[in-house]
A = this chain, B = another copy of it.
Amino acid sequence: MWNIREAAESDRDAIWLIFHAVVASGDTYAFHPSISRDEALAYWLHPSCRSYVAERDGSVAGTYLIKPNQPGLGSHIANAAFMVAPASQGRGLGRAMGEHCLAEAHRLGFRAMQFNLVVSTNEPAVRLWRNLGFEIVGTLPGAFRHARRGLVDAYVMFRPLGDAPLDAPSRPT
């Protein structure tokens, strides 16, 4: 149904349109609602990220990225970010990209995935990530300045990938 593939140079316009529409509402991402196209694309297509798009009938309707959440000794934990064009929301694209992303992150060797700032009032996102196996492992009081509601809490969400336990030493020395 959705074709999800790595982003190409030719996707820059489509990614910016989605990014701009999503951040303009100021209710889901920390990016400043008036972020410039150059800043947005520099972030989303940064060399440290793998960026993907989801298309149907040749039209890009969503995009996501995977990257290490920390450098060096924290780089076995992935971070990811997802954006769906407003016209395509509510059609399962978030879930399709989420499942694709989890499989990709596992394939790339990451041991877990962490979201650092899930806005607590973004109920569809919180529900989706719970359904995909994420747990809320932390609550950040008033950490998000919601465009309409003022300061609201944000969640840290976390999900192991694969079967190897995260509490066992990977290389005992």
Q: List the interface of chain A (C-beta within 8 A of B).
A: 26, 29-33, 35, 69-77, 111-112, 114, 116-117, 137-151, 153-154, 156, 158, 160, 165-173
Report how far A138 CA is from B139 CA in the complex, Å. 7
Closest to A29 in B: B73
Copies of this protein in the assembly total 2
Cβ contact within 8 Å between A151 and B138:
no
- B residues less than 8 Å from A165 (CB atoms): 142
Report how far A33 CA is from B156 CA in the complex, Å. 27
> Which 5 A-B pairs give the minimum distances between C-beta atoms?
A138-B138, A150-B169, A142-B166, A32-B72, A30-B74
Cβ contact within 8 Å between B137 and A151:
no
